[in-house]
């Protein structure tokens, strides 16, 4: 039986994958998508409102009109880009695609990488754009909502806010900013990953979050009384697609998207798996992968062609000090169950909190593992885990318990 080596590492063309089984994923990559062409008309994307819409376009990171770089966590070769042209009558960039949510029951997470910029003449106007589950048609649509992007100040277009359009228990539509101010004043010309988790059995939105892909700092909000269309009573059909949207009443509001995923949390993911061709120990390492063994990279894919043909990674030694320089080839995209290392947060910083649960505390890291030996204490990590003050509804940065994670615990958990 072949031994598998699993590393929470990044290689060119690969990006961080959530611990989830994807029902639908796309990175807008060839050969499914052709660059420098409209997105509508490719891979089931279509124009949902032909009279007032233009298409998003598929662009190359290596050569696109705005010079948008790939996300720090990897974005392959291509991405989707839309700019609202405004005009009279108003025209927006819209691209919509059908996508399944299983049998319409259970817990689902939609996630995507997002990049916001402005290409027009100030002042601009709301909104920048959105990502919505579909069909969002009130009062006769599906159980859906909108992950809205607005300007913090349209006069400057210097920063943006991650807002929501959703419903309360009585099915009243609400446009709201998150109580956690970490969702506001986000940088333009910068990649983030945004997500939303919903329970289709209760019709509730249970979590929204955003991660800065340069710092890997995440901010999370768990609402208690927010729902998809239908409110607490439910009733409408489950969502069956999503829409990319960009534009306001002034030309130039621009949104870029990549690595779109609709998934069920904690069930596995499609991942690039390689065969080790050559392995070189460094710094006295006594145990490195051997040729022929499998190397699983912490990335996601849709098909074999989305995995880089060859990867070279520096991996931590599994026995002793030092590292391993590993070259691997023959990639294939396979469904694999995921486990992640436990992470110890040893440093606690209360922010306007009288009390916080004492450190150390245990959190799940972003490091993939298969066995406990993959999670060694000496393999240091640093990341922030932010929780509410006990008994407080206020969120970071107003009130919070902030834990700094410093080490892996040597425990591999599903």
pLDDT at 138 over 90: no
Same domain, 251 and 288: no
Q: Name the token pair of 382.
A: 């640093």
Highest-confidence segment of 154-168, 367-381, 399-413: 154-168
Same domain, 236 and 174: yes
Same domain, 109 and 182: yes
Indicate the residue among 292, 309, 336 that finishes a domain: 336
Give residue 228's pLDDT.
95
With beta carbons less than 8 A apart as the criterion, state whether 369 and 345 touch.
no
Same domain, 297 and 235: no
Cα–Cα distance for residue pair 154/167, rounded to 1 Å: 26
User: Of 134-138, 201-205, 237-241, 364-368, which range is least confident?
Assistant: 364-368
Cα–Cα distance for residue pair 195/276, rounded to 1 Å: 34
Q: Name the token pair of 243.
A: 């829409």
1 part of a folded domain: no
Indicate the residue among 226, 244, 265 that finishes a domain: 265
Same domain, 127 and 61: yes
Higher per-residue confidence, 320 vs 251: 251
pLDDT per residue as tens digits for the range 358-382: 887 777 665 666 677 767 654 444 5
CA angle at 274 for the pair 269 and 279, rounded to the nearest 5°: 135
Q: What is the mean pLDDT of residues 265-294?
A: 78
9 part of a folded domain: no
Residue whose structure tokens are 């970490």 = 182
Same domain, 114 and 190: yes
Sign of the alpha-carbon torsion through 249, 123, 58, 239: negative
Q: Name the token pair of 160.
A: 């943006």
Q: Which domain holds residue 351?
A: 339-413
Sign of the alpha-carbon torsion through 223, 226, 232, 237: negative
Indicate the residue among 206, 234, 265 that finishes a domain: 265
- CA distances to 124, 279, 354 from 121, rounded to whole Å, are 7, 54, 47
With beta carbons less than 8 A apart as the criterion, state whether 121 and 253 touch.
no
User: For residue 229, what are the contacts with CB-CB under 8 A and spacing of at least 6?
Assistant: 136, 138, 141, 142, 143, 144, 145, 167, 171, 173, 236
Tell me how many domains the chain contains: 3
Same domain, 256 and 348: no
pLDDT at 300 over 60: no
pLDDT at 22 over 80: no
388 part of a folded domain: yes
Band of residue 12 on the pLDDT scale cut at 50, 70, 90: very low
Average pLDDT across the chain, whole number? 83
Cα–Cα distance for residue pair 264/24, rounded to 1 Å: 10
User: Of 217-221, 279-283, 292-296, 313-317, which range is least confident?
Assistant: 313-317
pLDDT at 23 over 90: no
Q: What is the mean pLDDT of residues 272-286?
A: 85
Give residue 368's pLDDT.
64
pLDDT at 220 over 90: no
pLDDT at 229 over 80: yes
Give residue 215's pLDDT.
80
Same domain, 218 and 161: yes
User: Of 89-98, 99-108, 264-273, which range is least confident?
Assistant: 264-273
10 part of a folded domain: no
Same domain, 309 and 346: no
Give residue 63's pLDDT.
96
355 part of a folded domain: yes
Sign of the alpha-carbon torsion through 73, 259, 339, 222: positive
Give residue 5's pLDDT.
46
Give residue 276's pLDDT.
87
Higher per-residue confidence, 160 vs 301: 160
Cα–Cα distance for residue pair 29/134, rounded to 1 Å: 23
Give residue 379's pLDDT.
47
User: Of 114-123, 203-212, 231-240, 363-372, which range is least confident?
Assistant: 363-372
Same domain, 284 and 374: no
Find the CATH number of the domain harbouring 65. 2.60.120.200
Higher per-residue confidence, 80 vs 353: 80
Q: Concatenated DSSP letters for 197-250?
A: EEETTTTEEEEEEEEETTT--EEEE--SS-BSTTGGG--SPPP-EEEEEE--SS
Q: Name the token pair of 170.
A: 């009585």
Same domain, 352 and 309: no
52 part of a folded domain: yes
4 part of a folded domain: no
Give residue 231's pLDDT.
94
Q: Concatenated DSSP letters for 333-381?
A: EEEE--EEEEEEEEEEEEES-S--PPSPEEEEEEEEESSGGGS-TTSEE
Q: Name the token pair of 55.
A: 């298409």
pTM of the model: 0.66
Same domain, 95 and 203: yes
pLDDT per residue as tens digits for the range 163-207: 999 999 999 999 999 988 899 999 999 999 999 999 999 999 999
11 part of a folded domain: no
Give residue 162's pLDDT.
98
Q: What is the mean pLDDT of residues 265-271?
A: 61
Higher per-residue confidence, 142 vs 312: 142
Band of residue 130 on the pLDDT scale cut at 50, 70, 90: very high
Q: Concatenated DSSP letters for 239-278?
A: P-EEEEEE--SSTTEEEEEEEEEEEEETS-EEEEEEEEEE
Cα–Cα distance for residue pair 165/132, rounded to 1 Å: 9
């Amino acid at each position: 039986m072949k031994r598998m080596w699993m590393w929470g590492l990044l290689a060119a063309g690969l990006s961080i994958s959530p611990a989830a089984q994807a029902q639908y994923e796309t990175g807008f990559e060839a050969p499914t998508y052709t660059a420098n062409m409209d997105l509508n008309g490719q891979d089931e994307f279509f124009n949902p409102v032909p009279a007032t819409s233009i298409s998003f376009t598929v662009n190359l990171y290596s050569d696109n009109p705005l010079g948008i770089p790939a996300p720090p966590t990897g974005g392959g070769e291509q991405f989707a880009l839309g700019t609202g042209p405004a005009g009279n009558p108003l025209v927006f960039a819209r691209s919509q695609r059908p996508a399944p949510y299983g049998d319409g029951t259970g817990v689902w997470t939609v996630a995507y990488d997002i990049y916001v910029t402005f290409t027009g003449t100030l002042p601009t106007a709301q909104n920048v754009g959105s990502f919505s589950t579909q069909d969002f048609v009130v009062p006769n649509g599906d159980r859906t909502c909108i992950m809205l992007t607005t300007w913090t100040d349209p006069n400057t277009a210097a920063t943006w806010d991650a807002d929501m359009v959703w419903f309360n228990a009585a099915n009243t539509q609400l446009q709201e900013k998150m109580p956690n101010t970490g969702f506001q004043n986000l940088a333009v010309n910068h990649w983030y990953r945004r997500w939303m988790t919903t329970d289709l059995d209760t019709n509730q939105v249970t979590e929204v979050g955003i991660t800065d892909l340069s710092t890997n700092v995440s901010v999370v909000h768990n609402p208690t009384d927010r729902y998809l269309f239908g409110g607490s009573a439910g009733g409408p059909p489950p969502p069956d697609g999503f829409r990319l949207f960009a534009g306001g009443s002034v030309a130039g509001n621009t949104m870029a998207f990549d690595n779109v995923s609709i998934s069920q949390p904690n069930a596995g993911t499609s991942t690039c798996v390689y065969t080790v061709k050559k392995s070189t120990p460094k710094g006295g390492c006594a145990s490195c992968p051997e040729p022929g063994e499998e190397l699983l990279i912490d990335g996601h894919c849709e098909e074999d062609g989305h995995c880089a043909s060859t990867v070279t990674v520096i991996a931590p030694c599994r026995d002793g000090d030092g590292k391993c320089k590993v070259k691997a080839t023959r990639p294939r995209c396979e469904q694999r169950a995921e486990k992640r290392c436990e992470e110890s947060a040893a440093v606690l910083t209360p922010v306007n909190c009288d009390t916080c649960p004492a450190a150390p505390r245990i959190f799940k890291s972003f490091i993939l593992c298969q066995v406990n030996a993959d999670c060694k204490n000496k393999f240091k990590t640093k990341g922030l885990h932010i929780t509410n003050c006990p008994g407080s509804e206020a969120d970071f940065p107003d009130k919070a318990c902030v834990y700094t994670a410093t080490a892996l615990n040597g425990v591999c958990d599903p």
